[in-house]
Structures are given as C-alpha cells and as structure tokens.
Structure 1
Amino acid sequence: MQTNILIIDDDDALVELLSEFLAVENFNCTSASNGEEGIAMLKRHSFDLILLDVMMPKMDGFETLKNLRKTDKTPVLMLTARGDDYDRILGLELGADDYLPKPFNHRELLARIKAILRRFDYAKTLSQQAPVQIGQLNIDHNTHSVYINQQAIELTGTEFQFLDFLIRHLGQLISKETLSEQILGRRLMQFDRSIDMHISNLRKKLKEDESIEIKTVRGAGYRLVTHD
C-alpha cells in the first residue's frame, strides 16, 4: 500500500524534485502551492504525512499549521530556513511533529519521513491497551484522547507519544537521547531543541492537573512524577 504525502510548498521545482524522489520510495505525493490550497485538499482527502514549507504566499506555513491543527492531527514535517531557530521553535509550538532546515539532503528527508511514519504506526498498536488513569489524567489509547477532569486536552500525535512514553516509565529519569531515539527515531543532535519544545508544549497542556509533573533534571533529562 502506498503512503500518501501532501507537499505544501510554492517552489515548483523543489516540489517536482521531491515528488520524483519520493515516488521511487513508493510514496504518492500530492502538492499544493500555498496554505489555503493545502487546507482545502486536506478537507477532501486523507494523507499520511504533510511536508509544510514556512515561506509561502497568501498563507505562510505557521498560519497554515495553526489552522489545520484546529481539526487535523496528520503528522507534519516542517521545512524551515537554515539556522533560523525561531522558525523551528514556533513550528513545534504550533503542533509540528518535526522540522528539517533547508537546504537538506534528500536521504535525510527520507529518514525523517520514515521515522515519523514508524512511530505513528507504532502508536496505532497501542490502541489495544486499556485506558490509563493517573491522578486527574485519563488516557484512551484507542482514540488517542487525553482528558483532565473529564475535559478533553488536544495533543498532537507526537505529544501523545511523549506522554505515553513518560507514563510507561513513570518516576524514571529519561534522557533526551533516549526520547529522541525512541520517539523521534533519530540520534539527538547538538543544539536540537525538538525534545525541549515537545516537553514544554506538554507541560502547558497538562498544567491543569496538579497531580502530575514533568520534572527537568538539568543535564540529564526528564522524569514524570505524581503528587498525592
């Protein structure tokens, strides 16, 4: 079965090059030249992954991501300007699952795509698990839903997997290296802020539940703890 990818980018030459390269790897690519067109396509068709450029006319990548995250949880790999930490951090804050700076190596792009798809395939296998309750937090693996005091909390697919991993290792110190390899599917690189941003987003969304806390152990990693 082919994997369907939506490329939202106004660089026609790059889109054509990526489509040809990914077709060889058995990916079926559809393209949109701006955010408005991309969101319209998402309403009509289902995709397994979105490659989303930041700099586009009409609606840039950030605004596009903000709009699609209101209703859509399709994993998003953002394509950002090289060396621009602001773009990367903002993209993760708005719900991107990963980012890749331009210009990029095509093999690196393929590795990122496969890593995202692998972890989302793995997440589907968790659907057979019984619901989990810790303090005021309830997790339904079948629907990938999270509730605090019966109020739904909207998490991206990647945030859900970070939370699930921390819960399965409750009380244990988990290094950033482990989180990067187990969740993002890649080795942690120097100056990579992805882990920090995903954890920061989780903290903000879980702040209403005072019975749990994601603690930072400086220079070592993170630990999910509970409070009586």
Structure 2
Amino acid sequence: MFGSIDLMRDSLSLHILIVEDNDNLREATQELLAQNGHQVTAMSCAEDVDDTPTRDVPDLYLIDVNLPGENGFSLAERIRKSHPAAGVVLMTARGQLEDRLQGYSCGADNYLIKPVEQSELLVCIQSLARRIKFAKSNEEFDLVLDVQALNIRGPLGSVSLTYPESLLLVAMTRAVGQKLERWQAMQLVDAKDKGLSPANLEMRISTLRKKMDACGAPAEAIRTIRGFGYALSCRFKVV
C-alpha cells in the first residue's frame, strides 16, 4: 500500500490507464491519481486493455508485471510499439537486476519497486507528463476525429460519420496495435445486435474507407487482417 504524503497537485493532467490485478492496490492507486487531477481508467488484466474501448489513447500506462494471463513485460512491449509517445511505468515487487533490465528493454520509462511511496509515484508521473505533453503538442496526425460533430477532417476536407463509424474509429485508435477483432468491430457497428453478417460488416468498413480517402487519409487506412479483423494504419487526433 502507498505511504501517506501531502503533495501539491501538478498542473499537467494526464489520461492514465492502470493495469493491476490486486483490487485494493488498483483502487488506492486510482483514487490517488484522480485526487491529483488525472483522468484514470483501471483494469485488472492485460486482456482488458484490448477489450475495453475508451474515448482516447491513454497518455500513460501504469502496469503491474505479475498479471494473470499476459504479463506486464509483454503488454509494455506491445504498447511501446503501437504508441511510441505514451508513458509506460512498470510497478512490481520483482526488483532483481535482470527483471529491471527486462522492463526497460520492453520499453518502460520507469521501473518502480513495490511498495511504492505516493511521493515517488507522483513525481515519476509529473516528470513523464512534461515529456508526454511536449511530444503530443508536436505530434503530427493524418486525420482529426471529432466525436461530438461526428466528422473526420484531413488535408482534403471534412467528411461526416455515422455514430457507429465514430465508435469504431475511436476504438481502433486506442486499441493496442490499433487492431480490432472482427467480433469487436461487429459489436461496435451493430450495437443492437440485429444480426449483422460478416459481408455487411465488410461493406460498412468499405464505406468508411471511402470517407477516409475523401478527406485525405493515407492508402489502406483500414487494413483487413485475414482470420482476425481490422487494423488502422493512420494516425488520428481525437477531439
């Protein structure tokens, strides 16, 4: 559990995703970060990161190493490949040198040994926040997705979206590797479960591709992955 300390809130607010299977520690960490002005999403396993759509890609991932199923090293490596600008902090009781080296090799910015003091965690996050905000302010995007106006904007103009199309693109932008399985895409496009067929789903995806092409998206902005589903091949800024 965290030690107690009164630390001034930092003005750099982040969207932080916690992946921790210990319920008490996950809830305590979520409360601490929320109290310090951050938007926090908390999950108990790596698989939930892929299966739970959120509005935008997290700025920072706080990951336990010893997770059920996929471990934190593997998850950190996938996140670093798909979201190079994101912060990745591993937090674990595994403090041996070989463990720390593996963590950094997987792309972690910091490797914190449990039990972690509040002050150390918050200062670590504040330090990363400066780098993350600078990177995001200078990052180039292919398209802008406006979830309120239901449109996408690019170098060739703006194109209107349907609500399901917007949900699908948001889910793809925040998924690890920007990939969704076919069943996930079907649930987003056909939320009322009216029996959408794979052929109809492919037609919907084709229509979305044409809309993205019309506003200037790169070629093959949505790729079909045989036997799996779909992958987004361009960079979106979600507003």
Q: TM-score, normalised by structure 2?
A: 0.49
Q: 1:17 aligns with which of 12, 24, 28?
A: 28
Equivalent residues in 2 for 1:193-212, closer than 5 Å: none
1:45 aligns with 2:56: yes
Taking the aligned partners of 1:123 and 1:68, their CA distance within structure 2 comes to: 16
Q: Which amino acid aligns with 1:25?
A: N
- Return the alpha-carbon distance in structure 2 between the equivalents of residues 18 and 71 of structure 1: 25
Superposed, 1:29-44 pairs within 5 Å as 29-41=40-52
User: Structure 1's 54 and 42: CA in aligned 2 closer, same or farther, altered over 3 A?
Assistant: farther
2:14, 2:121 → 1: CA distance? 15
Inter-partner Cα distance in structure 1 for 2:39 and 2:106:
26
Structure 1 SS opposite 2:48: helix
1:83–1:101 Cα contact (<8 Å) kept: yes
C-alpha distance in 2 between matches for 1:92 and 1:23: 27
| 1:104 and 2:106 correspond | no
SS, match of residue 118 in structure 1: helix
Q: Max radius of gyration: which structure?
A: 2
> Is the 8 Å Cα contact of residues 74 and 106 (structure 2) preserved in structure 1?
no
Alignment of 1:1-228 (within 5 A): 2-41=13-52, 45-73=56-84, 74-81=86-93, 83-124=95-136, 127=138
> What are the superposed Cα offsets for residues 91-124 of structure 1, whole Å, 9 maximum, x if unpaired?
1101111111111101110000000011222345
The structural deviation recorded for 1:38 is: 1.8
Cα distance between partner residues in 1 of 2:70 and 2:27: 21
CA distance in 2, matches of 1:122, 1:14: 30
Gaps of at least 5 residues in structure 2 are 1-11, 142-239
- Superimposed CA distance per residue, residues 37-57 of structure 1 (whole angstroms, 9 cap, x where no aligned partner): 123347863111110110010
Distance 1:123 1:4, change over 3 A: closer
2:134 & 2:14 partners in 1: Cα distance? Answer: 16
Match of 2:96, as an amino acid?
A: D
How far apart, in 1, do the equivalents of 2:23 and 2:62 lie? 14
Aligned length: 129
**Aligned equivalent of 1:161:** none
Q: CA deviation at 1:8?
A: 0.5
Could you tell me whether the CA contact under 8 Å between 1:35 and 1:59 is conserved in 2?
yes
Q: Which amino acid aligns with 1:70?
A: K
Fraction of identical pairs, as percent? 36
Greater RCO (CA < 8 Å, at least 6 residues apart): 2
Q: Look up the equivalent residue of 2:121 and give its one-letter code.
A: L
Give the match's secondary structure for 1:50: strand
The answer (yes or no) to whether the contact 1:80–1:87 under 8 Å persists in 2 is no
**Structure 1's 91 and 39: CA in aligned 2 closer, same or farther, altered over 3 A?**
farther
RMSD: 2.3
TM-score when normalising by structure 1: 0.51
1:153-179 superposed Cα distances (whole Å, 9 cap, x missing partner) = xxxxxxxxxxxxxxxxxxxxxxxxxxx
Displacement of 1:36 after TM fit?
1.2
Query: Which letter maps to 2:75?
Result: T
Structure 2 CA distance for partners of 1:108 and 1:46, relative to 1, 3 Å = same
Aligned residue identity for 1:89? L
Structure 1 unaligned runs (5+)?
Answer: 128-140, 144-228
Native 8 Å contact 2:90 2:112 kept in 1: yes
